[in-house]
Structure 1
Amino acid sequence: MNIERFTADDFNVFTIDGLEQRMDALKDRIQPKLQALGEHFSQQLSVMTGDEMYPHVAKHARRTVNPPKDTWVAFAANSRGYKMMPHFQIGLWESHMFIWYAVIYEAPNKMEIGKKLEQQANQLIKNIPANYVWSMDHTKPEVIAHDGLGIEDLNSMFHRLQTVKKAEILCGMRISRDDVIDMNDDDFMNTIQDAFEHLLPFYKLK
């Protein structure tokens, strides 16, 4: 499948003022690419995880005033939604593309996942690539570099996931817009596939 990478025009959608105008551009420029990525990688992830994975392109349907600052396609083993379970994401902010494994605050089994992450912390700190990043809030672009973390830092994040109602945890890749724009289509697809292979052990903990 020939899927086009994201371009400067796609990233620049997030500079468009106004909810309606930005949503129109998202629907025209970015959502078709997210849909194509969803169709392709839902098949790949179904094979990798052993679960049937469904793509969910963000619709931003609840927004009435503020235009979205990011957008994504999520992959989960549920055809109705993804927020309540561990999932994968591919998406964009104006400044970068992200590829995540995510457990966000709606997930009811966060405590169990946090315990399993703590148990595997020594393996995770060694096996996660140094250029990967962490986030504790999917609504913000700020991230924490993996190569700057020690085992105590990881366990603090994993413990927070178990004890704080609104806690979240995401791990994956953040790729600058310039690096994405410079990729060819094959490099783009291979980068995403490689990220999912590195993030698969998280999903296996569920």
Structure 2
Amino acid sequence: MPKIKWTNKDFNVFHIDGLEQRMDALNSSVRPKFQLLGEDFSAYFSSHLGEEFYPHVAKHARRTVNPPNDSWVAFAPYKRGYKSLPHFQIGLWSTHLFIVLAIIYEAPEKNVMAQHLMANKAILGQLPEDFIVSGDHMSPEAFPLQTAKEDKLDELLLRLRDVKKGEFLVGRHIPKEQAIKLTASQIHQITEETFSHLLPIYNVIVGK
């Protein structure tokens, strides 16, 4: 088990001005942690889902001016990429740690994935009370699942199905102030526990 502890320094990377300066800080302090988590949890997903999963640490390679506001490691059963598939992520914004399952707009079969979720929506209601949902992977904002179940959840799933830019993310957001107090063992436990709740959702999405 990798000893990963998140610190103020990790979250404050996203307050550094300038693309080159922020990328240097990301590469020196945050990416090595994502790489270790990638090795660990790709084996976890491969074991639990019965096919080989690969880690993809964000490179932010296309950026030429604006520095990234978040960063992550993603997991998917495809070595060359993850954006076209439902995927798991561990990542940071300046405000929080996120541990999520995501379908983003690049997924060509996202309308089918949405239909699977809509037909099995009750499984989302079984998730822990502190889980969140979101319709935009490029925004740090999210909705508490408990309140979203009233009407927002339907709206997000319909948008995922019918709108080209529709997305769906579900999982946990852990505020920075809480995350930096967690030990490496606690972080690993929370991350694994979060993913254990998301595995059945993934199976619904892919039609298993």
Runs of 5+ unmatched residues, structure 2: none
Match of 2:7 in 1: 7
Q: Work out whether residues 76 and 85 of structure 2, in 8 Å CA contact, stay in contact via their aligned partners in 1.
A: yes
Residue 43 of structure 1 corresponds to which residue in structure 2? 43
Aligned to 2:138: 139
User: 1:36-74, CA deviations, whole angstroms, 9 ceiling, x for partnerless residues?
Assistant: 000000000111111210000000000000100000000
Distance in 1, matches of 2:76 and 2:123, equals: 24
Alignment match, 1:177: 176
C-alpha contact 2:160 2:166 (8 A) present in aligned 1: yes
Corresponding letter in the other structure for 1:194: E
* SS of equivalent to 1:199: helix
- For 1:19-168, what aligned pairs fall within 5 Å after superposition? 19-125=19-125, 127-150=126-149, 152-168=151-167
Matched positions, count: 205
Gaps of 5+ in 1: none
Percent identity of the aligned residues? 47
- The equivalent of 1:194 in structure 2 is 193
**In the TM superposition, what whole-angstrom CA distance separates every residue of 1:149-180 from its partner, at most 9, and x where no partner exists?**
23543222212111101100000000011111
Q: Distance in 1 between matches of 2:142 and 2:189?
A: 23
CA distance in 2 between counterparts of 1:64 and 1:124 reads: 39
Alpha-carbon distance between aligned partners in 2 of 1:61 and 1:71, rounded to the nearest angstrom:
12
RMSD value over aligned CA atoms?
A: 1.0
TM-score under structure 1 normalisation? 0.97
- Structure 2 SS opposite 1:173: strand
